[in-house]
Amino acid sequence: MMNDRDGTCDGRLNRRTLLKAAAGLAGGVWASAWAGQATAAQRAGKIRIGSCRIGLTDARKAGLDGVEVRVGGPADTLEIADPSVRQKYKDEMKETGLVISSFMMGLLNSNPLASDPRGPAWLQQSIDAAADLGAGVILVAFFGQGSLLDENGQLKQADVDVVVERIKAAAPRAKQAGVILALENTLSAQQNIEILERIGHESVAVYYDVGNSTRMGYDVPAEIRLLKSRIAMLHFKDGPNYLGEGVVKFDPIAAAIRDIGYQGWIVMETSNPSKDGVADAKRNAAYIRKLPGMAP
């Protein structure tokens, strides 16, 4: 679960059994439409590695390609909507030569999109700011109070209904801005597909977190193959460990990513065992690049 304060993962995740995939949902018209909305990294035809744990200057020191940034806390006007804040990011991007891969709407974990009346405005502000900074993806978070699963692991259908309508309303603005709204949650791949089909817009996809899905007990490689082009971006983490030293099985995950032809960002949402953010990011990025098919 994501924490808006520092982008780390915390809290208890409910286990839910992966539902059997309905035939034919992985392809079709929706996937074809999504192909036209590829991120800059996908258009570049390569894997790029970023982080949501360090800033642009440290990311350059660690040899990364960019960073994911938070939109700010729950105010009527988001921090990222402030032109002066965005100018600072622009200056730092120019100085470092790196980019902002994506935005993280972690505030929705404590102020859920399904219930906070400011949610639609936050989506609009984030879309406009993302377009200004060239960030191709906005992570729309559903953890903590914003989780779409109840304490028994059952879908909160009323919340899903509101989320579908609010995302559907924001999607045309996202398309016009060249931005993808990417849902990150603890649902199965099949449940996410059903939500995407209800929204029915090429500018809405999934932000897939291999660490969260492993903790939920899902078959991560199978989910990645099922979602295919519906994956806008990937989060890599392995609990409190360096990548590859915990419970997440990265070799079969890398194989699945390669099989679906994913070419885009892998954003590290990793822990910091040594307390040296640059060194740990560099070590984790090196691990990713050694995985089959992950070299940039």
22: pLDDT strictly greater than 50? no
Q: Is residue 32 part of a domain?
A: no
Q: Is residue 276 part of a domain?
A: yes
Question: 130 lies in which domain range?
Answer: 37-290
For the stretch 52-98, pLDDT in tens is 999 999 999 999 999 999 999 999 999 999 999 999 999 999 999 99
pTM (two decimals): 0.87
Q: Is residue 5 part of a domain?
A: no
Q: Is residue 1 part of a domain?
A: no
Q: Is residue 262 part of a domain?
A: yes
Q: Is residue 26 part of a domain?
A: no
Domain count, the chain: 1
- The CATH number of residue 108's host domain is 3.20.20.150
Q: Is residue 266 part of a domain?
A: yes
Maximum pairwise Cα distance, the chain: 49
167: pLDDT strictly greater than 50? yes
For the stretch 241-276, pLDDT in tens is 999 999 999 999 999 999 999 999 999 999 999 999
| Token digits of residue 91 | 């200056």
Q: Is residue 254 part of a domain?
A: yes
